[in-house]
Amino acid sequence: MYIEVKDACKNFVQDGKEFTALDHVSLEIEKGEFICLLGPSGCGKSTLLNALAGFEKVNSGSIKIDGNEVKEPSINNITIFQNYGLLPWRNVQKNVELGLESKGIPKEKRGEIASKYIELVGLKGFEKRHPRQLSGGQQQRVAIARGLAVDPDIIFMDEPFGALDAITRMKLQEDILSISRKEKKTIIFVTHDIEEAVFLADRIVVMMADPGRIKSIVTVPLQAHRDRTSKDFLYVRDKVFELFNMKADAYIEYYI
Amino acid sequence: MKKLLSLRNIIVSLAIIILIWQLLFTFSSYSSALFPSPKMALDAGIEMIKDGTLIENIKTSMYRFLTGYLTSVITAVILGLILGRLPKVFQYINPAVQLLRPISPTAWMPFIVLLFGIGDVPAIVIIFIAAFFPVLLSTVSAVGGIDPIYLKVSKNFGIKQPSLTWKVIFPAAFPQIANGIHLALGTAWIFLVAGEMVGAQSGLGYQIIDARNNIRADILLATILIIGIIGIILDGIIKLIEKQILKSWGGAQ
């Protein structure tokens, strides 16, 4: 198995109260999968992602990627954050080149690679702009280009579209889906938006809070190209709603 | 238009000062040798420009000022970048800094003159001390306060020291460091005069002492005005530099 989480536990002490973010969580992910970690706040989905990405250590259990224990962040696994994490003093081009610099890639080649990914995320012509001159959606596109530029094996995304408006969010969801098909990356995507998860994921890991744990794993039986309004899509979405007990008990029939 | 307006503000403001000065001169009973008129101060200024003493003293003072200020800023920023990343160490250094900081740099003067003698060094050392603490403290707090996401991203992309400092930490902290550097400029300029009044035989500060010794109140007042004007010009220059650099941060903060 490519990514293997075994019996991971993580406790925090917050305001003098102990708080279990991960309670014996086990999960296996195959190479090339698009996984969504879905759940309400406090369910440990971000903690699990941070542990996978190497930013946090679990208290017990093990997390392995490609057979190696995760100890620290690696340039092979890039995380995309909700607040983008772009360097405001660098323009778009220079931001995308950031990871290439520490990989020791020569200047000319860096420019070439950066241009390629800037174009891929649809920001050709914005190379000389600074992050502050871009919209939230465009900034996140830059962050995605920066991540892709170092050719990582895995991309971790921590509620990456959470700060964007609904329309921009949908556009970015479509783009990340097509990018993930094109670039064949393993993507682990944290969200609390059920529709987002159904739209993107091959499998949805449904998590519950208090203590943070995996409730179930839903395989999404949809095609690569997904239609938010199709019957199948709504059916899967419905199933996930049920898992959160968010459907009314009595089925109300109504006509439009 | 905005520039024009501020120019008018400046002219009116200066006119008020000169008017009050002139009125005080006209209606006070002091002898004009002790309290000269604006015209007399202006004449004294022109006299000093003509005989070259003014330019010579400005040159001397600027050399001392720039030497002291720039070495101080560079040292304080480097130290601040290091200490800002070592909060545990800084906890032990901070009390000493807080103890030294409120001491007026001039209090060190007798000691400095004893150690280094009269000349360029005392003024440079005073300016160094005056600029050091504001820059050090603003750098440490700027480094401690940078958004943790920059560090997370750096870690993810494998950016290690020393690249981490000059590619990420310094630019992230720069706007706040620049603020400290700007503040320190004013403080340092104030203490240049104090330093030269005690520890030197040349420069603008010495010119004040010299004017007093020769009972030339007109030269004294002319020198005071020149010190003020140079202070404004220095402030304007650093504001301009600050603006230029912050521009490359992609606009206003």
**Position B247 confidence tier, pLDDT thresholds 50, 70, 90:** confident
Whether A80 is in a domain gets the answer: no
Whether B123 is in a domain gets the answer: yes
Return the percentage of chain A with pLDDT > 70, whole number.
96
Predicted complex ipTM? 0.86
Instruction: Give the domain range for residue B90.
Output: 47-248
With 60 as the cut, is the pLDDT of residue A190 above it?
yes
Least confident of A24-28, A198-202, A243-247, B59-63: A243-247
Task: Looking at the structure, tell me whether residues A56 and A177 fall in a common domain.
Answer: yes
Task: Looking at the structure, tell me whether residues A182 and A248 fall in a common domain.
Answer: yes
With a CB cutoff of 8 Å and minimum separation 6, the contacts of A53 are A70, A73, A77, A79, A156, B156
- Contact between residue A190 and residue A46 where contact means Cβ atoms under 8 Å apart: yes
Task: Looking at the structure, tell me whether residues A158 and A238 fall in a common domain.
Answer: yes
Instruction: Give ∠ CA B108-B114-B116 in degrees, rounded to 5.
Output: 90
Instruction: Give the domain range for residue A243.
Output: 3-74+154-255
d(CA A108, CA A181): 28
- Predicted confidence at residue A252, as pLDDT, reads 54
Q: Indicate the residue of A85, A133, A150 with minimum beta-carbon distance to B251.
A: A133
- Predicted confidence at residue B109, as pLDDT, reads 87
Whether A81 is in a domain gets the answer: no
What A225-228 contacts at long range (C-beta under 8 Å, 24+ apart), as own/partner pairs, is A226/A177, A226/A199, A228/A170, A228/A195, A228/A199
Q: Indicate the residue of A88, A129, A150 with minimum beta-carbon distance to B157.
A: A150
Whether A238 is in a domain gets the answer: yes
Overall average pLDDT of the B173-185 stretch: 92
Whether B182 is in a domain gets the answer: yes
Least confident of A83-87, A179-183, B12-16: A179-183
Overall average pLDDT of the B138-154 stretch: 93
**Position B50 confidence tier, pLDDT thresholds 50, 70, 90:** very high
**Position B253 confidence tier, pLDDT thresholds 50, 70, 90:** very low
> Exposed, middle or buried: residue A129 (CB in 10 Å: 0-12, 13-18, 19+)?
middle
Question: How many domains are there within chain A?
Answer: 2
pLDDT tens sequence across A98-149 = 999 988 889 999 999 999 999 999 899 999 999 988 999 999 999 999 999 9
Token duo for residue A27: 């999960």
Return the percentage of chain A with pLDDT > 90, whole number.
50
Question: How many domains are there within chain B?
Answer: 1
Beta bridge partners of A206: A38, A216
Given CB atoms, is A103 within the 8 Å cutoff of chain B? Answer: yes
The CATH number given to whatever domain includes residue B121 is 1.10.3720.10
pLDDT tens sequence across B2-43 = 666 688 888 999 899 999 999 999 998 888 888 899 999 999
Q: Mean pLDDT, chain B, as a whole number?
A: 90
Binary contact (B155, A88; C-beta < 8 A): no
Kindly list the distances between the CA atom of residue A211 and the CA atoms of A20, A49, A73, B177, in Å, as whole numbers in the listed order. 5, 16, 26, 44
- Predicted confidence at residue B43, as pLDDT, reads 92
d(CA A90, CA A104): 18
- Predicted confidence at residue B245, as pLDDT, reads 84
Task: Looking at the structure, tell me whether residues A9 and A61 fall in a common domain.
Answer: yes
- Predicted confidence at residue A239, as pLDDT, reads 85
Given CB atoms, is A151 within the 8 Å cutoff of chain B? Answer: no
Q: Indicate the residue of A85, A101, A132 with minimum beta-carbon distance to B153.
A: A85
pLDDT tens sequence across B76-129 = 999 999 999 999 999 999 999 999 999 988 898 888 889 988 888 989 999 999
Task: Looking at the structure, tell me whether residues A125 and A9 fall in a common domain.
Answer: no
- Predicted confidence at residue A251, as pLDDT, reads 54
Backbone angles phi, psi at B124, to 5 degrees: -60, -45
